[in-house]
Amino acid sequence: MQLGKGVEWCTHICGMLALVPTGKGLSAEALADFFEVPSAYLAKQMQLLRRAGIVESVRGKGGGYRLARGVDAITLLDIVQAIEGPSPAFRCTEIRQNGPCGLKRKDCKAPCEIASAFAEAEEVYRDALRAKTLAAINAEAAANGSPEHFIEVAQWVQRQVS
């Protein structure tokens, strides 16, 4: 059970997009260079973020990606679900309906106890991710990281958008 690489990439990228001045954008190419990830594949992931309404894109010269809403309105869950899709990790194929002692479908309106338990576990997982906003992540990073590095990144962003 693994999350795609796009989840890591896009979370870091969204954190950095918070530094982009209003009205500007960073191109997928620039983002790929910044993190040394394949640009064509990253572009696909950015499309997923865009369709989910997390970032918005500006086409044409000088265009690029920017956050579609404030950092306190974007959670890690938003990003994970944008990249990974909505389907749960545990797949219930209703094998209780199979075999010599299989239950009738009409007796299976409620999910079985096993599926319920996994659904609950995934719910608390999602709750934990939902509780983490980009704002909180960035605040922690600012508190833990060196001011020099922060300035370095901010200046790199400035060069890209100017």
Alpha helices (H) in the chain, listed in sequence order? 5-17, 28-35, 39-51, 76-84, 113-130, 134-144, 147-161
Least Cβ distance, residue 17 to its own copies (angstroms): 14
As given in the structure block, the two tokens for residue 45 are 């992931």
Nearest to 123 by CA among 71, 75, 77, 73: 77
Q: Residue 14, CB half-sphere, CA atoms under 13 Å: how many?
A: 35
Site string for DNA, 14-43 (x = CB under 7 A): -----------xxxxxx------xxxxx-x
Q: Which stretches of the chain bind its own copies, using CB under 8 A?
A: 1-5, 7-9, 11-12, 15, 33-37, 76, 84, 87, 89-93, 95-96, 98-103, 107, 110, 112-114, 117-118, 120-122, 124-125, 127-129, 132, 137, 140-141, 144, 146, 149, 152-153, 156
Segment near DNA (CB under 7 A), from 11-19, 53-61, 94-102, 117-125? 53-61
Q: Residue 92: which of its own copies, DNA, none does it interact with, CB under 5 to 8 A by kind?
A: its own copies
* Least distance in angstroms from the C-beta of 55 to DNA: 8
Q: Which is nearer to its own copies, 62 or 98 (CB)?
A: 98
Looking up tokens 């309404």 gives 53
Nearest to residue 126, comparing CAs of 79, 68, 92? 79
Using DSSP's 3-state secondary structure scheme, residue 64 falls into strand
- Distance in angstroms (rounded) separating the CA atoms of residues 52 and 78: 8
Binding of DNA at residue 5 (CB under 7 A)? Answer: yes
In the complex, the residues that contact DNA under the rule CB under 7 A are 1-2, 4-6, 25-30, 37-41, 43-44, 46-47, 50-51, 57-65, 84
